[in-house]
Amino acid sequence: MHSVLKSAYCGVKRERARRLTLQRINDAARQLTQDRGLDGFTMEDLATSSGVSRRTLFNYFPGKLDAVLGRWPDLDPESLATFRAGGPEHDLVSDLRTLVVPLLESDLAGREQLAQGHRVLRSEPRLMAALQGRYEQLSAEIVTHIAAREGSAFEAQRAQVAVNLLAALFDSAWKDAIDDPLARPVLVHFDHALATARSLLGS
């Protein structure tokens, strides 16, 4: 039992260290982009700035675009299986919220980091294009899962509208979190935006 607990503890510790390294590289990439522009620094500069080796850097990110944007968490397989089976609450909007919550949760990104990320993204069209590509890929994936959950009678257009609504709520939540003087988490603002949307749509 002791060895099992020790192994689990070490696994959690490694994951925490990995996440901290990811965030450190992401922060450095955004700062360099803000200071010099995307073309104004190299991956070697980024490795030096983030305090990691060049090899470690490329193990985390293949290029500058990915380093600036950071990694999006994958949809949790267990949560995804529950969603496709119709759960956990058997309400599509509520269950979509549960599915995408991990994309909003972060104990590493503070208000200033969110604001900086927003400025950097708006200043570099290539970053916005890459971000749009990520959204389209995730959107197509979620639409597929909605179709599997709801069956063939559920129109693809309705599924896409649901995903587009989520994207709008994401955007609203990020902006509200940046401007929030109480520095509340993004998820708080997302839930508020979702409640507002439900009230407006009468659902």
According to the per-residue pLDDT averaged within each range, which of 41-50, 158-167, 177-186 is highest? 41-50
How confident is the model over 126-149, as a mean pLDDT?
91
3-state SS of the chain is: CHHHHHHHHHHHHHHHHHHHHHHHHHHHHHHHHHHHCHHHCCHHHHHHHHCCCHHHHHHHCCCHHHHHHCCCCCCCHHHHHHHHCCCCCCCHHHHHHHHHHHHHCCCCCCHHHHHHHHHHHHHCHHHHHHHHHHHHHHHHHHHHHHHHHHCCCCCHHHHHHHHHHHHHHHHHHHHHHHHCCCCCCHHHHHHHHHHHHHHHHCC
Domains 1-63 and 72-203 equal at CATH topology level = no
What pLDDT score was predicted for residue 72?
79
CB within 8 Å of 80: residues ≥ 6 apart: 99, 145
Angle at 32 between CA 26 and CA 34, to 5 degrees: 100
Task: Please check the confidence at residue 156 and state whether its pLDDT lies above 60.
Answer: yes
Q: Where are the domains of the chain?
A: 1-63, 72-203
What pLDDT score was predicted for residue 14?
84
Please write the tens of the pLDDT for every residue from 28-63.
999 999 999 999 999 999 999 999 999 999 999 999
Task: Please check the confidence at residue 201 and state whether its pLDDT lies above 90.
Answer: no
What pLDDT score was predicted for residue 95?
95
The reply to whether CATH 1.10.10.60 applies to domain 1-63 is yes
- pTM for the model: 0.79
Contact 160, 169 (CB under 8 A): no
Please write the tens of the pLDDT for every residue from 75-123.
889 999 999 999 999 999 999 999 988 877 654 456 677 788 888 988 8
Fold topology of 72-203: Tetracycline Repressor; domain 2 (1.10.357)
